[in-house]
Structure 1
Amino acid sequence: MGLSANLAQFSLLIAVNALIGGTLGQERTVLPLLAERTFHLIGYTFLLTYVLAFGITKAATNYLAGHWADRFGRKPVLVAGWLIALPVPLMLIWAPNWGWVVAANVLLGINQGLTWSTTVIMNIDLAGAARRGRMMGLIEAAGYSGLALTAMATGHLAARYGLRPTPFLLGAAYIIVGLGLSVSVVRETMEHTRLEAAQHKPRADGRHDHLHAELTHRQIFTHTSLREPALSAASQAGLVNNLKDGLAWGLFPILFAAAGLSVSGIGMLAALYPAVWGIGQLFTGALSDRWGRKRLITVGMLTQAGALSLIALADTFAVWGVAAALLGAGTALVYPILLAVIGDVAHPAWRARAVGVYRLWRDGGFAVGAIVSGLVADRWGLRAAVWAVAAITTASGLIVAARMYETHTRPDQSAAEQTP
């Protein structure tokens, strides 16, 4: 187990996850503009139906991916996810009405739920406990760097060649390459999980003694969602993080366009936030292995809230650029570390299913964000929607500070240090 023993597979999974992120990034800049300029949609709530469809589908598929990964193996689930994605770019290119776009996002949600969840689970399988934060940072950084670069690239392609079809051809290429790599080179990782389960040692403070290997599906869901303090705090923080991302995905391009920004300028802002997020995770995951998880998550949620407040106040490219970078930095402090928390607490025997439950709640945030931000924007305007999400994000950070305990323990820690 660990990086040195599995360097080839780590590198491959990082490349595959970059392609997964790029598959999602093909929509990031172009689709909100397509909704407004090609389909002439009226009302922000209706416009955000594609985010809602994506979020609900991805959240449900995340849960199933964890269960299926334990039942059928990791690799078959990964390959199935890529096969589901094959029609998506073509549907977006040829969509005669908005219903086609929503249907494409249902398929995209299934693709992202199966592929991204599986690469995360496989990465956790290979990583071992000592450097779990670093490995989560690497895999998530790859995905969101791919998303950011693709969002920027599609913005430039759309400015030069139009909103369709050229930007979506890039996504089609990602899907073909990702499927080929997953079928031919990726290998199964379940044996690593069995090895870790055989070597599993309980915490010195006894906190996880009730989280044994024989939990039922219902108990895993209940512990991850509500009962276990660290798991449930991580789940709500993940939901709020993606609630914010649903707002950024669906409404930020329209907010920037209303201020007179060009398509390429909107693409740069749409890319800056996930770019900082992606690159930042290279450092924040490893930092959590050294400093612990809880403090960084709390700071990250509050930083996101401050960045959203700045976006609501600003009206120039420069200030929005600073705010987007802060939003990315705050997200980088949260995103991979929440997954590391799940890996810290969940027993190896049911960890994949716990990851599925966590990602169910986390990506359910896309749907909640689409509903909340759409309704608020329709009633009170775009900036009011940003303010509302900033307030929710602040509350989430305070919940983490109050409820989560430190989950990362080192061999040199005493039992007293491990107790919150």
Structure 2
Amino acid sequence: MNVTADHASAYIRGIGCNRGQFLLQTVQVFFVGLIIGMERNVLPTMAAHFGVDSHAFFFLASFVISFGLVKGALNFVAGGLSDRIGRKRVLLLGWIAGIPIPILIFFAPNWWWIIGANVFLGFNQAFTWTMTVTSQIDLSANHQRGLAVGINEAMGYIAVGAAGLATGYLAVLYGPRWSLLLFGLVVIALALVLLLWIKDTIHWVRAEHIQQEAATPAAVPAQSMFSTFLQVSFQDRTYRALCQGGVTNKIADTLVWVLFPLFFKFHGLGIIYIGWITGVYAMVWGLCQFWTGHLADHIGRKPPVLLGFALLSAGLAGTALVNHFAAWMVTAALMGLGMALLYPNLIAAMSDIAPAMQRGRILGTYRYWRDTGYAIGGVILGLVAQWSDKILPAIWLTAGIVALSGLWIAFAVKETHPRSI
């Protein structure tokens, strides 16, 4: 369906006037977060169930490497594809791709099956999470984009933390395989049912495009996907700096996903205590995004992004320095707060300067680099931990990478959002 000038007024942007559809997308991203969150605690700590030695750090990281490579590449595909066929169809494809994940984990005779399951997880997360955040930006007014991204990422990462806690308890009671199988299939079934009430937000995008054309008749023609990829990745100073910031925060998240559970296990903590530490990190990250995105709509994107990188680096360093459950809970919360400040506002900054009809592919390119950070982080941190036979050097390396990334953005990025709104 094409939106003409006569019908553009029917697709008014704004969270309030689209609250029903916005809420449905919010519930969708909660389900998306539950799927990735169910792996966060159980799989690394129980890798021995799948034949992985506790010090085979690089082989353990391989399941995140496969996830990052697939999710990064398909983020870019999802953005361009959604500009052509619509957001809802891509969202549906993502949920269909999620069905094999819990089934493969349940029947896995070895870790290679887990790596295969995470190929499907990358497909699922690329198409579903990309579409929910893109759709919520589509529905929002220009001055609400930070709030929209904040709500999306908040609900997603609250779900990540909640799923890590819930599956930790379920794994103790019923075993890791049964808990992940039933948890995963129930979540996917609920998400597919919810799709029946979701409208495709591509109509709002076309209406916005018509309005932009009316305001700026001499607009620059849309670029090809490859040209967009080159511009965003390498040619534009601001896009390039924001993309490397996305890579860096996923390197940090890879550390939490893969090596933190083992680090705490080596310090004598059980799966439930580990679930609380990683869960607090994800839930603080999630909950605080309700206000950090909205904050950036008023004071600009750059201040919260820079503060976020500083707090994340400090939290990582603190984790390496302390040696007690309560202290690790505090450093996890500090890391979560840092993520909450930087994470939604990096993508909001990208959306500030992205033309409406190219938004899907531009955000897709950013998300390609950001989530390829999982693969980059898996390789780098897995090799460092394997080489040293310790996890502590990987934590210090990550803290340094995060600090340097924040400095890059400080010097390379100008404010993308007016502070006077």
- Shift in Å at residue 200 of structure 1? 2.7
* In structure 2, distance between residues paired with 1:285 and 1:279: 11
- Shift in Å at residue 212 of structure 1? 2.9
Indicate yes or no: 2:23 matched with 1:11: yes
Q: In structure 1, which of residues 359, 380, 402 is the aligned counterpart of residue 411 of structure 2?
A: 402
* In structure 2, distance between residues paired with 1:301 and 1:350: 28
Indicate conservation of the 8 Å contact 1:25/1:146, yes or no: yes
Q: TM-score, normalized by length of structure 1? A: 0.94
Residue-by-residue CA offset, 1:297-317 (whole Å, 9 max, x unaligned): 111111111111111112211
Aligned residues: 407
Q: In structure 2, which of residues 305, 313, 323 is the aligned counterpart of residue 315 of structure 1?
A: 323
Indicate conservation of the 8 Å contact 2:70/2:122, yes or no: yes
Indicate yes or no: 2:35 matched with 1:23: yes
Alpha-carbon spacing, 1:202–1:154, altered in 2? closer, same or farther (3 Å): farther
Alpha-carbon spacing, 1:138–1:201, altered in 2? closer, same or farther (3 Å): farther
Indicate yes or no: 2:44 matched with 1:32: yes
Indicate conservation of the 8 Å contact 2:158/2:286, yes or no: yes
Secondary structure, counterpart of 2:52 in structure 1:
coil
Indicate yes or no: 2:185 matched with 1:133: no
Which amino acid is 2:201 matched to? T
2:104 match: 91
Which amino acid is 1:163 matched to? P
1:266 match: 274
Indicate yes or no: 2:206 matched with 1:194: yes
Alpha-carbon spacing, 1:336–1:404, altered in 2? closer, same or farther (3 Å): same
Residue-by-residue CA offset, 1:102-134 (whole Å, 9 max, x unaligned): 100000100000110011111111112111100
* In structure 1, distance between residues paired with 2:181 and 2:291: 31
Indicate conservation of the 8 Å contact 1:158/1:263, yes or no: no
- Shift in Å at residue 230 of structure 1? 2.2
**Could you list the runs of 4 or more consecutive aligned residues of structure 1 that deviate by over 6 angstroms after TM superposition?**
208-211
Secondary structure, counterpart of 1:346 in structure 2:
coil
Q: In structure 2, which of residues 41, 56, 59 is the aligned counterpart of residue 46 of structure 1?
A: 59
1:416 match: none
Q: In structure 1, which of residues 119, 142, 156 is the aligned counterpart of residue 132 of structure 2?
A: 119
RMSD, aligned CA: 1.9
Residue-by-residue CA offset, 1:171-198 (whole Å, 9 max, x unaligned): 221111111112x111111111112122
Indicate yes or no: 2:368 matched with 1:355: no
2:283 match: 275
Counting only pairs closer than 5 Å after superposition, residues 237-256 of structure 1 correspond to structure 2 as 237-256=245-264
* In structure 2, distance between residues paired with 1:27 and 1:129: 35
Indicate conservation of the 8 Å contact 1:26/1:168, yes or no: no
- Shift in Å at residue 210 of structure 1? 11
Which amino acid is 1:55 matched to? G
1:154 match: 167
Counting only pairs closer than 5 Å after superposition, residues 179-218 of structure 1 correspond to structure 2 as 179-182=192-195, 184-200=196-212, 212-218=220-226
* In structure 2, distance between residues paired with 1:36 and 1:213: 54
Which amino acid is 2:224 matched to? T
Which amino acid is 1:232 matched to? R
Counting only pairs closer than 5 Å after superposition, residues 293-304 of structure 1 correspond to structure 2 as 293-304=301-312
Indicate conservation of the 8 Å contact 1:66/1:352, yes or no: yes
- Shift in Å at residue 162 of structure 1? 2.3
* In structure 2, distance between residues paired with 1:311 and 1:112: 28
2:186 match: 173
- Structure 2 residue ranges without an equivalent (≥5): 1-12
- Shift in Å at residue 164 of structure 1? 2.2
- Shift in Å at residue 228 of structure 1? 2.0
Q: TM-score, normalized by length of structure 2? A: 0.93
* In structure 2, distance between residues paired with 1:369 and 1:334: 18
